[in-house]
Amino acid sequence: MAQLEDFNTTVTPTWCPGCGNYGIWNSLKQALSEMELEPYNTVLTYDIGCSGNMADKVNTYGFKSLHGRTVAAAMGIKIANPELTVIAIGGDGGVMEEGVNHLMWAARSNYNITVLMHNNQTFGLTTGQPTVTTEEGNPGKTAPLGIVENNIVPAQLALISNASFVAKTFAGNPKQMVKVMKSAVEHKGFSFVEFLQPCITFNKLNTFQWFQERVFDLAERKNYDASDWKRAFETASDVEKKIATGIIYQDKKSIPYSQRLVQRKGEKKTLVEEVKEYSIIQMIREFE
């Protein structure tokens, strides 16, 4: 059985000292080992940016795609081999901007994959431009006077796209991150996890302290029912004073994409195992 150390590589991280990515990285490895996954049956896909720089720092099969395409590649991998655990990692730029359509479609199609979105509300690797999650009025290098567009709330978008699992967790809370990631990966269907992640270098507003003062854990609210979509949407929408974290929504009866395909009912093999020559004797008759 794989231990946390088995998910380490020889590559040293290059994130800024104090970056939220260290916590996410360690919690991810912790979650993978606690779920008794092995490096060889796990695939992580990555985007471009600081989150994508995790690519050579986790010892599993990895696929570092182009900017915005982490979710799109993950969908194809899972379809080809449903026996693999497939987790797509990306930032707010990749998942909410360049590849926002992929997120919406992955959610509505209910592929059995997990999207881990690092939301630091800035383009970190390109040194501090605003993103779609930067709150209106905040400055950024390409909007020094403050951005004038409204921001998007990722969990709302995931919910209206029919995601069957939506969660939020705080990069300063490793215990919660591990728990939420495990629930997400074990969920049968599409799961979306947003990490509230301070960018200590370029986002001077949404700091660790700023989040600490606002986050609370839904798991501590005994009467919270995560299967109630309307309530989940309200909870996800309320980001002004208090920010709910934990599992916001989960449809435990959701049926993943691959199980919905009529022609695949009862098929035991994966598409990978099915590659061989196929006879055309039956099919060619239609051409006569």
Which residues contact another protein by CB under 8 A? 9, 11, 38-41, 43, 45, 48, 55-56, 59-66, 69, 72-77, 79-81, 83-84, 101-102, 104-105, 261-264, 267, 270-272, 274-284, 287-288
Supply the minimum distance, in Å, between the C-beta of residue 234 and another protein.
28
Q: How far is the CB of 152 from another protein (least distance, A)?
A: 18
Q: Which of 133, 247, 124 is nearest to 182 (CA)?
A: 247
Q: Do 50 and 18 contact (CB within 8 A), yes or no?
A: no
Q: How far is the CB of 5 from another protein (least distance, A)?
A: 14
Minimum Å gap between C-beta 267 and another protein is: 6
Closer to another protein by CB, 40 or 216: give it.
Answer: 40
Closer residue to another protein (CB): 144 or 266: 266
- 7 versus 165: smaller Cβ distance to another protein: 7
Strand, helix or coil for residue 77: helix
| Beta carbon of residue 133, minimum distance to another protein (angstroms, whole number) | 22
Q: What's the half-sphere exposure (Cβ side, CA atoms, 13 Å) at 76?
A: 8
In the complex with another protein, the residue whose CB is nearer, 214 or 264, is: 264
E-assigned strand segments in the chain: 42-46, 61-64, 85-91, 114-119, 122-123, 129-130, 165-170, 191-196, 215-217, 243-250
Element (H, E) at 26: helix 20-34
SS3 of 140, please? strand
Q: Which is nearer to another protein, 73 or 95 (CB)?
A: 73
Q: Which is nearer to another protein, 191 or 245 (CB)?
A: 191
DSSP reduced 3-state for 166: strand
Cα(16)–Cα(127) distance, rounded to whole angstroms? 12
Between residues 66 and 239, which has the closer beta carbon with respect to another protein? Answer: 66
* Shortest separation between residue 28's beta carbon and another protein, angstroms: 15
C-alpha torsion 26→67→49→112, nearest 10: -20
Smallest gap from Cβ 176 to another protein, in A, equals: 28
Alpha helices by DSSP H, listed for 187-228, are: 208-212
The H-or-E segment that residue 34 falls in is helix 20-34
CB atoms inside a 10 Å sphere around CB 22: 15
